[in-house]
Amino acid sequence: MNKVGIRLFLAAFAACLFSFSAIAEEGEELTGVTAKVVTTDDGRLTQEGSVLEDGKWILPDDSPTFSITKKPTYKVDWYTYNGYRRYHDACHVCHGPDAEGSTYAPRLADSLKTMSYDDFIAVVSGGREVKRPGGGISVMPAFGDNKNVMCYVDDLYVYLKARAVEALPRGKLSGRMREKKPEEARVYDKECYGE
Amino acid sequence: MRKSALIGALLATVVAAPAMANSDVAKLTADPNNWAMQTGDYFNHRYSKLDQINKGNVGSLKVAWSFSTGVLRGHEGSPLVIGDVMYLHTPFPNLVYALDLNNEGKILWKYSPKQDPSVIPVMCCDTVNRGLAYAEGIIILNQADTNVVALDAKTGKELWKATNGDPKKGETHTGTTLIVKNNVLVGMSGAEFGVRCHVTSYDLKTGKRLWRAYSMGPDSEILVDPKKTTNLGKPVGKDSSLKTWTGDQWKIGGGSSWGWFSYDADLNLFYYGTGNPSTWNPVQRAGPDGKPIDQLYTMTIFARNPDTGMAKWVYQMTPFDEWDYDGINEMILADIDVKGKKRKALVHFDRNGLAYTMDRATGELLVAEKYDPAVNWTTGVEFDKSSPRYGRPYVVAKYSTFQNGEDVNSQGICPAALGSKDQQPAAFSPKTGIFYVPTNHVCMDYEPFKVSYTAGQPYVGATLAMFPAPNSHGGTGNFIAWDAGKGKIVWSKPEKFSVWSGALATAGDVVFYGTLEGYLKAVDPANGKELFKHKTPSGIIGNVMTYSHKGKQYVGIFSGVGGWAGIGLAAGLTDPSAGLGAVGNYAGLSEYTALGGVLTVFSLP
């Protein structure tokens, strides 16, 4: 198993245990929820404590995050962009363009403010049903066996995180504003789709 | 007048139906006191002969009564009125109400189907339902979970139930049904889930399945006759669909069929359009040689015999779709003057931004013109019959998401995937000979990428960003009048948001439509001048209907924002090419309206 594969495996494993790991304690390492948005010395927007590992930005708790260059031109890292486009493939028909929510599904740009990485993986892979006040049921389907989603669940998370912490304003991102697709990403595509 | 209509209705349930149409439906729709079909009549005119409410007095319309459906999501379609009873439907869970018009709308009966909520997320673009159908004392409900249910119109008791598909594979129902003779014609949604869609006929009395015609596949399953079924006047030949797909891709081919059907009793043909091929990534659908391949019969107008399902003629508007320009929009049948000659025409406002006028008997292409000047993906359709490209659109290379390729963002394509018009049906006035069309004025950036198929999961393969048509009025909609004989816009009235509501034209020289902010509007058919507007409780994606009861004319409209409009617009659209500064005048729909299903009924004071 390569490193990405291991990370995915660990994420899925963590997801099984998410209900036990959700409580943060004093002095604990920075997570996707607790790490603040910072501008680095080289002018990038990212979350506090992120480091580059195999072309991806990772927080101390091993959850992924985004990296956005604002100057000279606005550019997001490939994985944030890939999350954006995969989001608009599988998620936006319910959750709205730019994670803005719709008449019947929550605004993920809000949800990801407080939702942990592990919870996110658990809900995406396992789905859930929510009873709405005043009757009616909202259903999030389980995407666990959908490669189009699960292969890129980290990218979806990173994109939504950037939206949630307002590092990425709505309507801002387009195909012109991304880093080139790295070779690692091409190799990963093939591995994950099993080609 | 009302009494005689009612007696007529009662008689029709007893008297055996002659061969044409469904005699009961034909009779009921001929009486303008009723609104007996979703589309007004078999020709999809959405025109009423009622003229009590007219151009001179429409300005003084008042709310007569209103009714909450108790359901929050997008309310498409409209109620039916047959005699003294109004029948209403709702989005999922698809409740049905019968209201007594003689007793201030008291609920005569209510039907609450039990459906598995897991069907909700496999309904691309909201849990809408486009309404009930009625014939011979039977109400047909087309449930989200693909159950077709026949109810006794008097009691609401279930008469039969037929299961048309499997939601676990992404098969769902959103459309209405059309009843022709003893056939209940049922479409299918699910092209975003790789469903091979079809139209199926069920027997009105028993619910027995009579025939099924797939959108793609072997001749015997798509019900085309290689020798007799024609495409632009020529026989389609053997395996005409299979030849246009790579390998087994036709098995997950899409081609949904949830639009509004129409029917011509003289020709004994019914008409509908099919949706996009799955996936939205054209690169994955290329031919074995890596070149575009047609993917028949997606994006196609079908003329079929309702007794057998056999196709008389076909015409594909967008071969090898690269933009999700579904061909599902309604076919309006009208006898009009086309280029100086009287024609039995079929008029269709396609998602791809072209309005087609065809000879509905033969399938000859007469007119194909842009009905929104913003449309830019094509330079037009080839009309030279000797050309091998006859009837095909010319694609502008810059806007070809296939030529630009996977992982490339094709920018500034007009229209956007929701089309210059979506399902919101247009109206035709035989009095003016003009079509009144609710339209979208939206463009997009589109980026296709690789996806794999999993049954019951989204199978889309592209992302798109939508924004108002550039260098225009800044809004995302227009309400237009269209001359289908000439292929020209007569007038165009800008709207802040896409007009997602079905129009209604009347003999009183008034045209009605609803807006996403929630206004019911009445305009002058001569010039689009606004004569009346009233803000209803929620945004309107339903269709305007009219009926008359005890000598008084009423106009009814569902409000209840949702649908694709609810996804794409509830959160507002921004123009990514304009940056963040230019969107001030383009605030989200959520600043104007909120959820809620309500029927509002208007009349003169």
- Integer Cα distance of B324 and B275 in angstroms: 8
Structure-token match 């990212």, residue found:
A46
Q: Kindly report, residue by residue over A24-50, the tens digit of the pLDDT.
A: 445 567 899 999 999 998 889 999 999
Q: What is the DSSP letter of B215?
A: S
Strand partners, A56: A53
B544 min Cα distance to partner chain A (Å): 22
Contact across the interface for B571 and A96, Cβ inside 8 Å: yes
Positions of B marked catalytic: 324
pLDDT above 50: residue B252: yes
Biggest alpha carbon–alpha carbon distance for chain B: 68
In the predicted structure, residue B37 carries a pLDDT above the cut 90: yes
Domain, as residue range, for A179: 3-193
Subunit contact A88:B466, Cβ cutoff 8 A: no
Q: A97, B573: Cβ pair inside 8 Å? A: yes
| Residue B564 pLDDT | 75
pLDDT of residue B15: 41
3-state secondary structure B381-407: ECCCCCCCCCCCEEECHHHCHHHHCCC
- Please name the member of A94, A102, A171 whose beta carbon is closest to the beta carbon of B121: A94
Percent share of chain A, pLDDT over 70: 83
Q: How far apart are CA A73 and CA A178, in angstroms?
A: 10
* Percentage of residues of chain B with pLDDT beyond 70: 93
Closest partner CB to B447 (pick from A85, A107, A136) = A85
For residue B17, the model assigns a pLDDT of: 40
Among the listed residues B458, B468, B120, the one whose alpha carbon sits nearest the alpha carbon of residue B280: B458
- The two tokens of residue B356 are 């087609």
**Cβ–Cβ below 8 Å for B570 and A102:** yes
Residue A23: is its pLDDT beyond 50? no
Q: What are the phi and psi torsion angles at B82 (to 5°)?
A: -125, 110
Note whether A147 contacts B454, CB cutoff 8 Å.
yes
CA distances from B248 to A157, B74, B149, B520 (A): 34, 36, 33, 47
Q: Residue A9: left if φ>0, alpha if ψ -120 to 50, beta else—which one?
A: alpha
Q: What are the extents of the domains in chain B? A: 2-603
pLDDT digits (tens, 9 = 90+) for B259-299: 999 999 999 999 999 999 999 999 999 999 999 999 999 99
Which residues from A are below 8 Å from B573, CB to CB? 97, 171
Residues of A in contact with B75 (CB under 8 A): none
pLDDT at position B1 over 90: no
Which residues, 6 or more positions from B219, have their beta carbon under 8 angstroms from its beta carbon? Answer: B225, B226, B238, B239, B240, B241
What is the predicted pLDDT for the residue at B570?
55
Which residue of A lies nearest to B564 if distances are taken between CA atoms? A93
**Residues belonging to chain B:** 605
Helix (H, G, I), strand (E, B) or coil at B86: strand
pLDDT at A178: 83
- Say if strands B552-559 and B598-603 run parallel, antiparallel, or are unpaired: antiparallel
Closest partner CB to B571 (pick from A97, A140, A181): A97
CB contact under 8 A, A96 and B575: no
Name the β-bridge partners of B97.
B88, B110
Average pLDDT, chain B: 92
Distance of CA B232 to the CA centre of its chain: 24
- Mean predicted confidence (pLDDT) in B319-344: 97
Q: How many domains in chain A? A: 1
The whole-number pLDDT of residue B132 equals: 98
The CATH number corresponding to B2-603 among 1.10.3720.10, 3.30.300.180, 3.65.10.10, 2.140.10.10 equals: 2.140.10.10
Q: Is the pLDDT of residue A169 over 90?
A: no
pLDDT band at B6 (very low <50, low <70, confident <90, very high): very low
Q: Is the pLDDT of residue B11 over 80?
A: no
pLDDT band at B587 (very low <50, low <70, confident <90, very high): low
Q: Which two tokens stand for residue B171?
A: 């098969």
CA A192 to chain centre: 17
Average pLDDT over residues B40-61: 98
| pLDDT above 70: residue B567 | no
Return the pLDDT at A134: 64
Q: What is the pLDDT of residues B58-67, one digit of tens each?
A: 999 999 999 9
Read off the amino acid at residue A116. Answer: S
Mean pLDDT value across residues B358-368 = 98
Q: Which residues of A touch B411 (CB under 8 A)?
A: 174-176
Min Cα–Cα distance to chain B from A10, Å: 24
What ranges make up the beta strands (E) of B274-432?
Answer: 300-304, 311-316, 331-338, 341-349, 354-359, 365-370, 378-381, 393-395, 410-413, 427-429
CB within 8 Å: B452 and A148: yes
Select the residue of A88, A102, A145 nearest B571 (Cβ to Cβ): A102
Whether the per-residue pLDDT at B578 is higher than 50: the answer is no
The pair of three-digit structure tokens given for residue A189, joined into one six-digit string: 């595509």
Out of A134-143, B234-243, B299-308, B506-515, pick the least confident: A134-143
- For residue range B84-109, list pLDDT tens digits in order: 999 999 999 999 999 999 999 999 99
| Distance of residue A3 Cα from the nearest chain B Cα, in angstroms | 23
Is the model more confident about A10 or about A142?
A142
Residue B489 pLDDT grade (very low, low, confident, very high; cuts 50, 70, 90): very high
Chain A residues near any Cβ of chain B (below 8 Å): 84-90, 92-94, 96-98, 100-104, 107, 129, 134, 136-141, 143, 145-149, 169-176, 181, 189, 193
Do B349 and B443 meet the contact criterion of CB atoms below 8 Å apart?
no
- C-beta of residue B96 within 8 angstroms of C-beta of residue B156: yes
B225 vs A97, which has greater pLDDT?
A: B225
The answer on pLDDT for B585 being more than 60 is no
Whether the predicted pLDDT of A4 surpasses 80: no
For residue B193, what is the nearest residue in chain A, using CA coordinates? A90
- Tokens standing for B176? 């209405």
For residue A181, give the nearest of B118, B407, B561 by CB distance. Answer: B407
Q: Is the pLDDT of residue A58 over 70?
A: yes
Amino acid present at A64? P
CA distance B166 to B154: 30
